[in-house]
Every structure is written in structure tokens, then in C-alpha cells.
Structure 1
Amino acid sequence: MAIALGVGLVPIVAPDFYHGFPGLVQTVMDSGISAGTITAVVLNLLVGRRASGRAAGQGVQVG
């Protein structure tokens, strides 16, 4: 969550940060909302897969 918030603040704190990137990346990441959202979704997918792989191998018993 903190990483997504930090990435979302980059366009506000350093507006010239994405000027060296290709045009499509500049267009999408120039908005703090879209930058933070994309980062949050990607991290959620990565962490979710890692956590579900760990949980599947442990075999949790209920009851």
C-alpha cells in the first residue's frame, strides 16, 4: 500500500520524473491517480499469487 501511495505521489512531487520515458508511459503515469492505481493492482496480483502459493502448500485444517 505504501509503495502505491509513493508512486502516486511522484507526479506531484517531481513533475519531470517521467519525461525520459516513452510517450505512452508519460501519458498514463503523469496522473498520480493512475500511477498509484496501476501500481496497487500490479502489486496485489504479485503478492496475492505468492501468498496463495504459500497457503496452498501448508494445508490448513479447520475444526
Structure 2
Amino acid sequence: MTSSLQLLFAAIQKMQNEQDMRSHVIPKAGEYFTENYVKQALKRMFRKLEVSSRVELVMQLRASPDIKSESY
């Protein structure tokens, strides 16, 4: 794992160990995105990637020679 990823994980762990996440600068995702927005964004991404589900997307990624299987 790269040092920048280690720092990120350490920061996340520290925030989880501290007081409630709501007191930190990082807001909850639900405060910015509605359920409908997320659904529509996923539909647009799936259309661009020519897949119809998350399962199909993962299957395509696994079949891709550019993607290492260890990243799943």
C-alpha cells in the first residue's frame, strides 16, 4: 500500500475514533445527493459503459486484460 493511502486510512481511522462524524468537516453523502440523483447518475454511467447492472460491470472488469484481478 502506498504511503498516501496509508495516511488516508489513518486519517479515516482517527476520525472514526474521535467524536461523532457529524462534528467533522466531511459531511454525510446524503446531505448533498438525493436518492433519485444517485439512481440517475448510475443509469448514465451504466449507459456509457454499456452495462445494465453492477454485476455486469464487475464481470466486464474481470474480463478486461487491463484490470488486475487482485483489485476486487
Work out whether the TM-score is over 0.5. Answer: no
Higher helix residue share:
1
TM-score (norm 1): 0.27
Using CA pairs under 8 Å that are at least 6 residues apart, name the structure with larger relative contact order, 1 or 2.
1
